[in-house]
């Protein structure tokens, strides 16, 4: 995958991620997050993770974000008011966030575990459904079954929590 294309998508990702946290209207934040998820799915395809990219679009952008938008519409959320007298706080937040990111980047560049591998040839079915399914049902069978129990518990919990109390 070529470097200029990666830089373009990285810049778009950062812009849309900033759009998630900086916009005052929650619907616009949700839509910015949908754009971020789609761009991330494209980056996953660049990294030869085809099934994961598909699942990102279908599950994350197609189900979880729709759930978020339903809740925002259900609660009829308005835009956040501009907070008065806190301009200094915004600069402090931006400075702290940049410091945090620089710290992580410094650690990422300092170590020597980044030797090669990205340009080597891959097996032809890397990232395909077959190989992922094979690993999921043989080596990772126990987490898979536990995840199904987790989903059941989440469904029951969500229904119980959101049910209207009949007194």
User: Could you say which residues in the range 14-53 bind another protein, by CB under 8 A?
Assistant: 14, 17-18, 20-21, 26, 29-30, 33, 36-37, 40, 43-44, 46-49, 51-52
Residue 1 within binding range of another protein, rule CB under 8 A: yes
Query: Do 9 and 38 touch, CB atoms closer than 8 A?
Result: no
- 74 versus 166: smaller Cβ distance to another protein: 74
Residue 33 burial (C-beta neighbours within 10 Å; 0-12, 13-18, 19+): buried
Query: Do 33 and 10 touch, CB atoms closer than 8 A?
Result: no
- 46 versus 85: smaller Cβ distance to another protein: 46
DSSP 8-state class, residue 127: T
Tokens describing residue 50: 């085809």
Residues touching another protein, count (CB under 8 A): 82
**CB atoms inside a 10 Å sphere around CB 2:** 8
User: Closest approach of Cβ 162 to another protein, in Å?
Assistant: 4
Please give the residues from 68 up to 127 whose contact with another protein meets the rule CB under 8 A. Answer: 68, 71-72, 74-75, 77, 80, 89-90, 93-94, 96-98, 100-101, 104-105, 108-109, 114, 116-120, 122-123, 126-127
Residue 59 within binding range of another protein, rule CB under 8 A: yes
User: Closest approach of Cβ 167 to another protein, in Å?
Assistant: 13
Query: Do 44 and 52 touch, CB atoms closer than 8 A?
Result: yes
- 118 versus 166: smaller Cβ distance to another protein: 118
Radius of gyration of the chain (CA): 21
Please give the residues from 124 up to 143 whose contact with another protein meets the rule CB under 8 A. Answer: 126-127, 131-132, 135-136, 139-140, 143
Strand, coil or helix: 143: helix
Tokens describing residue 134: 């094979």
Residue 161 within binding range of another protein, rule CB under 8 A: yes
First and final C-alpha spacing in the chain: 60
- 84 versus 119: smaller Cβ distance to another protein: 119
């Amino acid at each position: 995958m070529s470097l200029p294309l990666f830089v373009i998508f990285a810049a778009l990702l950062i812009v849309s991620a900033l759009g998630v946290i900086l916009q005052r209207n929650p619907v616009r934040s949700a839509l910015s997050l949908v754009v971020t998820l789609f761009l991330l799915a494209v980056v996953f395809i660049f990294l030869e993770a085809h099934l994961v990219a598909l699942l990102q679009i279908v599950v994350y952008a197609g189900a979880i974000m729709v759930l978020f938008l339903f809740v925002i519409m259900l609660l009829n959320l308005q835009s956040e008011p501009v907070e008065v007298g806190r301009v200094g706080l915004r600069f402090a937040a931006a400075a702290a966030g940049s410091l945090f990111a620089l710290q992580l980047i410094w650690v990422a560049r300092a170590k020597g575990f980044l030797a090669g591998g990205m340009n080597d040839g891959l097996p032809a079915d890397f990232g395909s459904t077959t190989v992922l399914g094979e690993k999921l049902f043989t080596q990772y069978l126990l987490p898979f079954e536990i995840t199904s129990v987790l989903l059941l518990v989440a469904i029951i919990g969500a229904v119980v929590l959101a049910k209207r109390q009949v007194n």
